[in-house]
Structure 1
């Protein structure tokens, strides 16, 4: 039941997080949002994610991981109902915000549960479990596109109905969670590493930077790739969603296949190699134009490995403080996501206006600059990975 909860949880997580790719252009059209306003919307949602990350670790210590996990899935299901029912922008934004609250709670709950039960072959198992996120993310854009055009009882689901269907799938892992028992809640508080001690470790701060830049690069693809391909190259929704699905297919296969590599070559070296590969692919795809667009998908191979490898690193380095370390790291990562989404929208708008807001060239350059920021985040992830490697090698603490 523990494994079923984790695997099913990551499936639902991937669907809810990456259905937004095809939906965002429609949401933007329905509410008449420009790129800057769209970036602000995504940043506010990331703020909800951040808030949830900040209090979920506290709730886990009080209620236990089982109740928190069920509450996370329940919040996501409720948000799907509210998105479908409310049509005004303020209520839609609030419902969308609630979905990210659920996502943030689920992020911490699944990470903590994984750290507790994957005590051997940690890199392999972390990547395998996160591979289910990649698999569901692969089908999410195409499934979302299909659901948005589906008709039920003579009514077209559109993007609201699509979110309703996707998020109500949260009921499945709720059943698994209620039927299972969860380890680790019995650990005495005095045996846990206090946050004050963790904050003195520079390695943890480097992990925060690596995770932040890695996840901004990862999540931004789901929000901006379809938008980029449709507006920069004139692709239709199906073709653009197909490329996003190809990205997540590479993403999922990497986690399913390459997990043992992280255990073999070490977590530190893995972070450098994989994030650097993603950055190279992203910059090559932008510079090469439409003929090298397939490299947008190939970038998923590298960026997929960052999050689970960081979680595996934390589980190994802080065995009695993984709950606290994960909560702290992921919370600050959420703050970076807020800034990252806003920065992409701002960069697109700024560069577009500089080249001519109403011209095709201005739009293309703006989109290229915004997406270039995604590649830059992957590159910075590799840079801080190199610094971490040097620090730990000097201490003889490489993992």
Structure 2
């Protein structure tokens, strides 16, 4: 019996240590749902509230301010309360927004609910990134891509699930987009269980060993990473909000078919994250970023130029953009060990600004070009050209991401600091 006791204690300890990893994997899985069900929902929201494309872009941009706000204070909360409680709080907040969204009947109420959801998403983004940087110490590129693979996995299902739930009838009542958001966001309660039960690593870094934010602001590498992630995130996240809208209005696809193409994008996206990690560890972070982001830019422009027959290229573009975010997170964790929470918080806060401007610009470009062509070629051609111009901006962001990665590669190679 005396010999069994240490084994039992070790077993319990192993189970508790497993919970942080489950929190990361399940957390990213739920995060993928919350971020990517909006594609099929936005056209319905647009119809309900009589919004134009620029208003949709403004809605997404203004509510991204909630994400930006969360990024600015989450690192402080992590240091104050610990990543365990911040993770649990973010999951609970996301579940609450599902309830608020269900009862929203006015545009301001919807905007407020979206704003709160983005705060929860922002907190979760930082918390999961910090936790992943703490628990993954070997093969960082592979493990970060694997963690984000779960985000892509749920993103494949999200558009089709959202479409199915919006048409589901329960006791004579169709769930529509409000009921769909309620169901999806209540799933956030699931990863709260390992978050609350787990034994999370505590890294006590002495104050004198901490790099202050002012020092980060003087580091050219940080600003290059901000540029890479800002344009990369716009190119990645904008697809979930604009691809279904583009296919429905430009090519007259029905919602199910358009949502299927978005799911195909996330299928390619997820596959890439599953296989890209070992490639990244082999050829290096910065070289990987140049190749992957450039591939996405080429695919996006080719899809637009080819018209409807080339629509599959929109999905294939997911192969390139998928590894960008986790690869940058791996680079940060590797380069700024012991200060990864501050670095991640600073960079993600900065890219939040880019996300806000990105969605606004897509909407503004779409409406501006549409009006320009309507006067000369009619409303149908005007709408098509506007949608093409707006979506081209997504491809343009991928190209800029690749070019910024090239600059980072040359800078680090010159200093013999390539990772």
Q: Which has the larger radius of gyration?
A: 2
1:26 alignment counterpart: 44
| In 2: Cα distance, 1:149 partner to 1:158 partner | 6
Q: Establish whether residue 379 from structure 1 lines up as the match of residue 399 from structure 2.
A: yes
Q: Which runs of 5+ in 2 are unaligned?
A: 1-18
Residues 271-296 of structure 1, C-alpha deviation per residue, up to 9 Å, x if partnerless? 00000000000000000000010000
Displacement after TM superposition at 1:185 (Å) = 4.2
1:56: how far off? 0.5
Decide whether the 8 Å contact of 1:61 with 1:185 is kept in 2: no
Deviations 1:34-78 (A, max 9, x none): 001110000011111111111111111111111110111011000
What's 1:176 paired with? 194
Matched, 1:271 2:289: yes
Q: 2:218 maps to what in 1? A: 200
1:150 paired residue number: 168
**C-alpha separation in 2, matches of 1:38 and 1:322:** 35
**Equivalent of 1:288, from 306, 318, 322?**
306
Cα displacement string for residues 107-134 of structure 1 (whole angstroms, at most 9, x for unaligned residues) = 0000000111111000000000000000
- Over the aligned positions, Cα root-mean-square deviation in angstroms equals 0.9
Q: TM-score, normalised by structure 1?
A: 0.99
Q: Say whether 1:334 aligns with 2:332.
A: no
Counterpart CA distance in 2 for 1:53 and 1:21 is 24
CA distance in 1, matches of 2:309, 2:292: 23
| Cα pair 1:35 1:345 within 8 Å, conserved | yes
Q: Does 1:39 align with 2:57?
A: yes
Q: SS where residue 317 of structure 2 aligns?
A: helix
Q: CA–CA distance in 1 between the matches of 2:202 and 2:224?
A: 27
Within-5 A mapping of 1:171-250: 171-250=189-268
CA contact (8 A) 1:271 1:309 kept: yes
- Corresponding position of 2:278: 260
CA positional deviation for 1:201:
1.1
- For 2:411, the equivalent position in structure 1 comes to 391
Residue 188 of structure 1, CA deviation: 3.1
- SS of the equivalent of 1:184 reads coil
Residue in 1 that maps onto 2:7: none
SS in 2 for 1:356: helix
Counterpart Cα distance in 1 of 2:54 and 2:104: 23
The alignment of Structure 1 onto Structure 2 pairs a total of residues equal to 399
Is 1:369 aligned to residue 389 of structure 2?
A: yes
Answer yes or no: is the 8 Å Cα contact 1:262–1:270 preserved in 2. Answer: yes
Q: Match for residue 160 of structure 1?
A: 178
Counterparts in 2 of 1:301-380, with a 5 A limit? 301-356=319-374, 359-380=379-400
Segments of 4+ in structure 1 off by > 6 A?
none
Q: 2:144 aligns with which of 112, 126, 131?
A: 126
**1:245-279 Cα distance to aligned partner (Å, 9 max, x none):** 00001001100111110000000100000000000
